[in-house]
């Protein structure tokens, strides 16, 4: 098909769409305002609308153009007050778009920005992500009440949640244990129900990562880290440890469990109470998580991290390699 032929076809399709819209507008005006105009005028409008509709059915382009002009003139003469102004049309379109966006944000998908390096390397400072808010149940806006509870969070999933100690803040971490699980950390190895999470060392002699220190407002490169690929309930992800920070056991020194966790008298570790999950950052020695402030109530969880849709920050600027990266 030539360019001229394609343009002619596009014009014909546009005229047909305009004709259908004008017929709907004329008949809606007759239904709502027919009592305000004379019977003769009603007949003219109906006749012009019928003729335009027939022209569209037959595919006669010339008749369609003539009918479009005729019906447009009839509507202008007999029911001009029924026509929407340009301002009203734009206002209604924008209003519908805003309502759809608010609905999606409240119940389906919401965007978040990663402010810290606690989830490196899965998440980097400056990553912008989409979060699935539907999968764990639909939350009533501005409350913690949920309905249509599709399923509960699973081990290995990365979730966004309301920080239990400061409800005005949102955190993002990985779930390592769910209600009823016994969790412990010994020499940086995480144990769930007495079994170590399977992990494989990653040979990375030049392991380092870039982090942002909010207090000093500067980017810092952390050198000499150690990486592992962990597997938990089918989820595979990479964790980072800083050997210079030493071991961070949980519970600390093998002592009693912190607030919100239950002591297990028969085995080392702490039991996650009902209706809660235990979360940790993938940057294990640089994460403020459940090891320090306890488990997260299920009602605090906003959703599951889905995809990185934008990433920028530090000396790299835009990180093109991370765009549209699925969250492990």
* 324 contacts 287 by C-beta, under 8 angstroms: no
Query: Which residues are catalytic, by number?
Result: 118, 173
Per-residue exposure over 102-135, b if at least 16 CB sit within 10 Å of its own CB, e if not = eeeeeeeebebebebbbbbbbbbbbbbbbbbbbb
d(CA 111, CA 281): 20
* 287 contacts 121 by C-beta, under 8 angstroms: no
Q: Which tokens in the block code for residue 182?
A: 């016994």
d(CA 272, CA 280): 13
* 121 contacts 209 by C-beta, under 8 angstroms: yes
* 122 contacts 328 by C-beta, under 8 angstroms: yes
Q: Is 269 exposed, middle or buried (0-12, 13-18, 19+ CB in 10 A)?
A: buried
Q: Which tokens in the block code for residue 32?
A: 């709502």
Closest CA to 128 of 115, 138, 141: 115
d(CA 305, CA 226): 25
Kind plus residue range of the DSSP H or E element containing 6: helix 3-33
| Residues in a beta bridge with 219 | 212
């Amino acid at each position: 098909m030539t360019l001229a032929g394609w343009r002619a076809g596009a014009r014909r399709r546009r005229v047909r769409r305009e004709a259908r819209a004008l017929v709907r507008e004329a008949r809606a005006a007759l239904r709502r305002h027919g009592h305000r105009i004379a019977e003769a005028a009603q007949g003219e409008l109906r006749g012009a609308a019928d003729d335009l509709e027939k022209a569209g059915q037959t595919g006669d382009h010339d008749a369609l153009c003539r009918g479009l002009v005729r019906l447009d003139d009839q509507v202008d003469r007999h029911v001009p007050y029924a026509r929407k102004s340009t301002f009203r049309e734009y206002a209604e379109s924008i209003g519908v778009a805003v309502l759809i966006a608010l609905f999606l944000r409240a119940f389906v998908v919401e965007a978040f920005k990663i402010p810290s390096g606690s989830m490196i390397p899965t998440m980097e400072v400056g990553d912008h992500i989409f979060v699935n808010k539907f999968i764990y149940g639909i939350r009533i806006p501005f409350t913690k009440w949920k309905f249509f509870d599709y399923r509960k969070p699973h081990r290995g999933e990365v979730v966004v949640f309301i920080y239990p100690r400061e409800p005005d803040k949102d955190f993002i971490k990985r779930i390592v244990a769910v209600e009823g699980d016994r969790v412990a950390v010994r020499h940086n190895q995480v144990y769930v129900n007495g079994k170590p999470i399977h992990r494989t060392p990653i040979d990375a002699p030049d392991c380092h990562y870039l982090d942002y220190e909010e207090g000093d407002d500067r980017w810092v490169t952390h050198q000499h880290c150690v990486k592992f690929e962990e597997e938990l309930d089918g989820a595979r992800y990479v964790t980072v440890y800083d050997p210079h920070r030493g071991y961070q056991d949980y519970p600390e020194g093998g002592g009693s469990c912190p607030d919100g966790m239950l002591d297990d008298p028969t085995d080392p570790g702490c039991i996650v109470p009902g209706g809660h999950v235990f979360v940790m950052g993938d940057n294990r020695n640089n994460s403020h998580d459940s090891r320090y402030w306890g488990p997260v109530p299920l009602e605090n969880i906003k959703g599951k991290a889905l995809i990185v849709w934008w990433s920028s920050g530090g000396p790299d600027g835009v990180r093109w390699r991370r765009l549209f990266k699925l969250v492990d």
